[in-house]
Amino acid sequence: MPSSAPKALHCENAPLGATAGLVYNNTMTISAIRARFRWVYFLPLLHLAVCLAILLGYAIPKLEPLTDETEFLTAADIPISLPAVGLAMGNRVVPALAWLFIAGTLWWYLLSLGAQFIFNRFKRRTHPN
């Protein structure tokens, strides 16, 4: 009975104990997993960092100029920021910022996943190996 656990295979060209020679399920190397981690999470983490800077601007009076970035963030998150604009017009600033921070970060994550999916399909089409 075959087990469902991933099997690690060792490439002959890799030095003994090298992690680059491990292949899981014969498809993804450890370096490919690390590369995916780096670029798929870059934009959401950047969005979250800008959100935290804006939050610091609202919390610390000396950092108040950071709150000007809210307009930039709203423009960058245009399809997702429309409910936040509606909430802000109704004088509900805290729910608007919460929506912008949470939904906007999720939006950038989904955009990154979509870009990776399209890139991988294009890569497979041009390089069948």
Burial 76-102 (b: 16+ CB within 10 A, else e): ebeebbeebeebbeeeeeeebbebbbe
* pLDDT at residue number 19: 47
Q: pLDDT tens, 73-103?
A: 999 999 999 999 999 898 898 999 999 999 9
Residue 36 clears pLDDT 80, i.e. is over it:
no
What value does the mean pLDDT take over residues 117-121?
87
Which sequence spans correspond to the domains of the chain? 8-38, 42-124
Structure tokens at 80: 């997702």
Q: So what's the pLDDT on residue 12?
A: 47
Residue with the larger pLDDT of the pair 38 and 10: 38
Instruction: Say what the pLDDT of residue 18 is.
Output: 46
pLDDT band at 43 (very low <50, low <70, confident <90, very high): very high
Q: In this predicted model, which residue has the larger pLDDT, 62 or 9? A: 62
Instruction: Note the pTM of the prediction, 2 decimals.
Output: 0.67
What is the token pair recorded at 116?
A: 């990776």
Q: What is the pLDDT confidence band of residue 16, given thresholds at 50, 70 and 90?
A: very low
Q: Which helix (H) or strand (E) holds 118?
A: helix 93-126
Q: Is residue 29 over pLDDT 60?
A: yes
Cα–Cα nearest to 108, from 38, 48, 67 = 48
Angle at 31 between CA 29 and CA 35, to 5 degrees: 120
